[in-house]
Structure 1
Amino acid sequence: MNRQHYYDLLSAPARLDYELYLDTGNLLACQKPMPAMVNADELQFQIVHQVEELWMKLMIHTLLDIDDHMRDGHAHKVVTLFSRCNMIMKLMSEQLDLLETMSPHDYQQIRLQLGNGSGQESPGFRTLMKMPPELWETFETVYLTGRALSVRDIYDTQYRHDDAYVIAECLMEFDERMGKFRANHIFLIQRSIGMGAASLKGRPVELLDAGARHRFFPELWAVRAEMTDAWGQAYGKVRESLGAAE
């Protein structure tokens, strides 16, 4: 097939309403021109990361709306919008699998094009890292302090499976999916350059693993252990085997 013919079709000036509304001319020009690509995988590398930035932009916008709706007590809207964020996180994690179709050898050629850049410099990622503490502050103000409740009350001592519990679980799932996304990124790095290598910033790649283990809402994780230990005191941490009575 004539490659240039199809490249020309993609780069033709926008004329149709769909093209104009989505600004496809500028969108498809965000990648390097094909003749300038260092290898055939560089287009995929750029597109995957550009799409990730767009997903993060949508998630940031949605989290801002979530914060507003929490303050206004609109629990159903909060749950719906958290579902959207969690779907975005799932898509972002799955998209990383595309990059595993790239060989370590081909990635090294692309890596040379990055200068000293790394995913830690992503504007979307850096912004997302700053938002969870403010989400927790809002949740705490409205659903904990505002109702004279603790996390333990919501999950155990005054458990009602109410709006406070459901929103706490939304926060928990968001935290979990963020951790899975970061863990998937670690596996991608392992397949691309190995864990023993230094990043483009000169830091050992192993340091990134700490980010994957980070929890934004530690209170929601800790309460599970607290409840299990407390319940264990009642029924015994070590119980007789089910087969002992036979």
Structure 2
Amino acid sequence: MASPDTDEPRLDFAGSSTPYIDYQSIDVLLSLQQPLSDAPAEPTFYVLGQVKELLFKLLYGELVAVRALLDADDVPGAVWTLRRTHRVVALLTGTWDVLSTLAPTEFNAFREHLGSASGFQSYMYRMLEYVLGNKDARLARPHRHVPKVRDQVEEALRAPSVYDAALALLARRGAFLPPEVLGRDLAQPHTPHEAVERAWADVYDAGPEDEMFRLAEALMDIAEGFGRWRALHLLTVERIIGTKTGTGGTTGVNWLRRAAEHRHFPELWTVRSGL
């Protein structure tokens, strides 16, 4: 920020630390990188892992905010927030472009230091999946021995997803959705239902001037974005480790290939075939 009497930025902060360092906790942030080997490529893997965790946290907070806006019938506010969220998803997906530059030999130089650590164990990512509606109680198990983390993950599992909030909004706007849709156990995954598909078809028939149409497309931006995230995850892992067992004991690319087939907000995908 420039001083009032000159175009030059203020350079003298004698008597205090630089405010930017304090505001962003930069000294703390930059002290958190602790690679376990001398392998030249490990810092890239390490820092990008931390970047992803920060973006998971940001996305979770944004989607919780979207859920609250939908609960309050504020569709324009939800669509506006989803617009920003979509850009964050794109930024998250771009981390694979950096990680894909690791040659197999570079990754193998530090892989043994990971031990049983795996991104699969990310509790922030699990909470993100839950708020998007991909509910699977089994995937909360890696966190059950860490009390504070366990409580957050289980709360996210039991809470309504963004899609649950969108379907409740559809019902308030006059769509007929049966009890098995609106009254299901929220800790269980949403089962696709033809009544939901019909409701979205009516939304699309209303045209782009309708705010629910814009909500549907904003949700699809997020769903497609996460589809891209998963697809690039699969390609990056396959490029680096081939068909080896993944870190943390998963089946590696086989697990990721199945995961890449998942689609958030399923009726928004299937309704397209009949439009």
Report deviation, 1:139: 0.7
Alpha-carbon distance between aligned partners in 1 of 2:248 and 2:120, rounded to the nearest angstrom = 10
1:202 is aligned to 249
**CA RMSD across the alignment:** 1.7
Q: How does 1:220-239 map to 2 (within 5 A)?
A: 220-227=268-275
Q: For residue 140 of structure 1, what is the aligned residue in structure 2?
A: 167
- Partner residue of 2:240? 192
Equivalent-residue separation in structure 2 for 1:147 and 1:78 (angstroms): 16
- Of 21, 24, 29 in structure 2, the residue corresponding to residue 22 of structure 1 is 24
CA distance change for structure 1 residues 17 and 159 in 2, over 3 Å: closer, same or farther? closer
Deviations 1:182-219 (A, max 9, x none): 1111111011101x211123332212111111011111
Distance in 2, Cα, partners of 1:124 & 1:140:
25
The alpha carbon displacement at 1:152 in A equals 1.5
Distance 2:248 2:48 in 1: 21
Q: 1:72 to 1:105 in 2, by over 3 A?
A: same
Match of 1:95 in 2: 95
* Aligned residue in 1 for 2:212: 164
Which 4+ runs in 1 deviate beyond 6 A? none
Number of equivalent positions: 209
* 1:153 and 2:183 aligned: no
Instruction: Determine the C-alpha separation between the residues in 1 that align with 2:115 and 2:58.
Output: 28
CA contact (8 A) 2:233 2:256 kept: no
* Structure 2: tracts of 5 or more residues without a match: 1-15, 134-160, 176-198
Structure 1 length as normaliser, TM-score?
0.80
**More deviation, 198-207/100-109:** 198-207
| Alignment of structure 1 residues 4-23 onto 2, 5 Å | 15-23=17-25
Aligned mates of 1:226, 1:167 — CA distance in 2: 19
Aligned to 1:101, the other structure's residue is in SS state: coil
Aligned-residue sequence identity (percent) comes to 29
Gaps of 5+ in 1: 1-13, 228-246
Q: Distance in 2 between matches of 1:83 and 1:223?
A: 22
Which has a greater percent of helix? 1
In structure 1, the residue matched to 2:157 is none
Determine the C-alpha separation between the residues in 2 that align with 1:43 and 1:203.
23
Whether the 8 Å contact between 2:208 and 2:214 is mirrored in structure 1 is: no
Distance 1:180 1:161 in 2: 28
- Is contact 2:120–2:248 with CA below 8 Å preserved after alignment? no
The equivalent of 2:107 in structure 1 is 107
**Contact persistence 1:45–1:99 (CA under 8 A):** yes
Contact 2:33 2:46 in 1 (8 A): yes
- Work out which of the two has the higher radius of gyration on C-alpha atoms and give 1 or 2: 1
State whether residues 154 and 160 of structure 1, in contact with CA within 8 Å, keep that contact through their aligned partners in structure 2.
no
C-alpha contact 1:153 1:159 (8 A) present in aligned 2: no
Q: Provide the TM-score with structure 2 as the length reference.
A: 0.72
